[in-house]
Amino acid sequence: MSGPGITRCGSTVFRWGARTYVMGIVNLSPESFSGDGLADSRAAVEQALRFVEEGTDILDVGGESTRPGSSPISAREEAARVLPVIERLAGQVSVPISIDSYKSEVVAQALDAGASIINDQWGLKKDPALAELAAARGVPIILMSNQRDTGGYDARAGRDTAFYQDVLREVTRSLQRSVEAALGAGVPGESIIVDPGLGFGKTWQQDIEIVRRLTELKVLGRPILIGPSRKSMIKMVLDLPAKDRVEGTAAAVTIGIANGADIVRVHDVRQMVRVCRMADAIVRG
Domain residue limits, the chain: 6-283
Residue-wise pLDDT tens digits, 42-90:
999 999 999 999 999 999 999 998 776 667 889 999 999 999 999 999 9
SS3 16: strand
Span 94-148, pLDDT tens digits: 999 999 999 999 999 999 999 999 999 999 999 999 999 999 999 999 999 998 8
Kindly state the percentage of the chain with pLDDT values over 90: 82
Q: Is the pTM of this model over 0.85?
A: yes
Residues 6+ positions from 67 with CB-CB distance below 8 Å: 31, 32, 33
Positive or negative CA dihedral for 50, 51, 55, 57?
Answer: negative
Residue 158 CB contacts under 8 Å (≥ 6 apart), including other chains = 68, 69
The phi, psi pair for 230, rounded to 5°, reads: 60, 15
Provide the pLDDT for residue 18: 96
Quick one: what percent of the chain has pLDDT higher than 70? 90
One-letter amino acid for residue 176 of the chain = Q
Cβ atoms within 10 Å, residue 166: 12
**Catalytic (active site) residue 81:** no
CA atoms within 13 A on the CB side of 63: 23
Q: Say how far apart CA 195 and CA 161 lie, in whole Å.
A: 18
Residue 126 is a catalytic residue: no
Q: Which CATH architecture has domain 6-283?
A: Alpha-Beta Barrel (3.20)
Per DSSP, which regions of the chain are E strands? 6-9, 12-15, 21-27, 58-62, 97-100, 117-120, 141-144, 153-154, 159-160, 192-195, 225-226, 263-266
Q: Residue 67: its pLDDT value, please?
A: 72
pLDDT of residue 246: 97
Q: 193 near 223, Cβ under 8 Å?
A: yes
Catalytically annotated residue among 231, 235, 274, 284: 231
DSSP assignment of 92-128: T--S-EEEE-S-HHHHHHHHHHT--EEEETTTTSS-T
Residue 152 has pLDDT above 60, yes or no: no
Which member of 125, 148, 245, 265 is catalytic? Answer: 265
Please list the residues that pair with 160 across neighbouring strands.
153
DSSP E strands, 95-238: 97-100, 117-120, 141-144, 153-154, 159-160, 192-195, 225-226
Residue 33 has pLDDT above 60, yes or no: no
176, burial (CB in 10 Å: exposed 0-12, middle 13-18, buried 19+)? middle
Contact 266, 272 (CB under 8 A): yes
Instruction: For residue 153, name the pLDDT band (cuts at 50, 70, 90).
Output: low
Sorted by sequence, the CB contacts under 8 Å of residue 28 that are 6+ apart come out as 37, 38, 39, 41, 44, 61, 62, 63, 81, 82, 85
Q: Considering the chain, what is the average pLDDT of its residues?
A: 92
How confident is residue 16, by pLDDT bands cut at 50, 70 and 90? very high
- Please give the average per-residue pLDDT across 256-285, as a whole number: 97
Any residues with CB less than 8 A from the CB of 106 and at least 6 apart, and which? 63, 75, 78, 79, 82, 99
In 10 A of CB 57, how many CB atoms?
21
Label residue 271 by pLDDT band (50, 70, 90): very high
Tell me which DSSP letter residue 230 carries.
T
The length of the chain in residues reads 285
